[in-house]
């Protein structure tokens, strides 16, 4: 089956991200996940 | 331009699906921090309840929030019951969407939990379904995820609801083993605390 455009771009970007991911970028992503986790836990407790 | 974080992606995407006349329910990496311990991942999964007649409108709304897909990709995923990538052009996260079509998938949408944040609202799979799905995948990390959910949200599990869901997926035994393990761990923790207080 032909690869969709979005999937092709995603694959390209994942490859680029893996190669170029800096400590700062990884920190930003983990921080984003942590902030999300804190706010959803608070929302569930309310 | 500021990168879009996970909270804003989830809220923006939910709003877009609703504007196109549908509903979406997040699973996996988005449901996990709601009920258990988060995983370090850039991928999220979403169940979409949206008829093919709305695909063009949905793509237009998505373009407005800089998330990329095409009506053709949506139609293929709908017809083949496979995943479609919703690519965020403003951040490192991306979402794999699947259309809710089977009775089991429609039931996941119907029982979803609404989460209200200051940034907006969205839906995630209920705690009972999140556990059952993780157990049905059965990988080492999935079992760790269930341990995290039991430790974090054990009190929120409805015993009457979860029974039939586990039975349907054939994972009741695995659940009871982990629940028992969690109960022993909690009893030990209480004992240790008491000893410390004496």
pLDDT single digits (tens) A16-30 = 555 556 777 777 888
Which of B130, B152, B118 lies closest to B26 in space, CA to CA? Answer: B130
Residue to mutate among A37, A39, A42, with most B CBs inside 10 A, is A37
pLDDT < 70 positions in chain B = 1
Q: What is the pLDDT of residues B115-134, one digit of tens each?
A: 999 999 999 999 999 999 99
pTM to 2 decimals? 0.87
Q: Is there a contact between A6 and B156 if contact means CB atoms under 8 Å apart? A: no
What is the model's pLDDT at position B34?
94
CATH number of B1-125: 3.30.460
CA–CA gap between residue B186 and residue B192 (Å, rounded): 10
Q: Determine the Cα–Cα distance for residues A17 and B173; give it in Å rounded to an integer.
A: 40
* Residues in a beta bridge with B87: B68, B94
Quickly tell me which residue has 């836990």 as its tokens: A41
pLDDT at B91: 87
Q: Where are the domains of chain B?
A: 1-125, 127-198
Chain B 147-176, CB below 8 Å of chain A: which residues?
152-153, 156
Three-class secondary structure of residue B54 per DSSP: helix
Handedness of CA B143, B137, B10, B159 (dihedral sign): negative
pLDDT at B147: 96
What is the reported pLDDT for A16? 54
Nearest chain A CA: its distance from B40 CA (Å): 6
């Amino acid at each position: 089956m032909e690869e969709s455009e979005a999937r092709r771009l995603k694959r390209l970007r994942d490859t680029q991200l893996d190669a170029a991911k800096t400590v700062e970028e990884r920190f930003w992503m983990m921080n984003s996940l942590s902030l999300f986790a804190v706010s959803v836990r608070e929302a569930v407790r309310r | 331009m500021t990168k879009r974080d996970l909270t804003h992606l989830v809220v923006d995407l939910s709003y877009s699906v609703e504007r196109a006349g549908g509903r979406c329910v997040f699973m996996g990496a988005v449901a996990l921090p709601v009920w258990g311990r988060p995983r370090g991942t850039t991928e999220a999964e979403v169940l979409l309840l949206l008829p093919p007649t709305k695909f063009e409108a949905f793509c237009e709304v998505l373009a407005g929030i800089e998330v990329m897909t095409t009506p053709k990709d949506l139609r293929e995923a709908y017809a083949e019951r496979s995943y479609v990538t919703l690519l965020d052009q403003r951040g490192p996260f991306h979402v794999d969407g699947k259309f809710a079509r089977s009775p089991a998938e429609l039931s996941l949408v119907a029982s979803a939990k609404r989460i209200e944040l200051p940034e907006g609202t969205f839906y995630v799979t209920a705690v009972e379904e999140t556990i059952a799905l993780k157990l049905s995948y059965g990988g080492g990390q999935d079992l760790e995820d269930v341990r995290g959910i039991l430790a974090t949200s054990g009190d929120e599990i409805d015993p009457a609801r979860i029974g039939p869901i586990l039975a349907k997926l054939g994972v009741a035994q695995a659940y009871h083993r982990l629940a028992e393990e969690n109960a022993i761990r909690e009893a030990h923790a209480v004992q240790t605390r008491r000893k410390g207080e004496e």
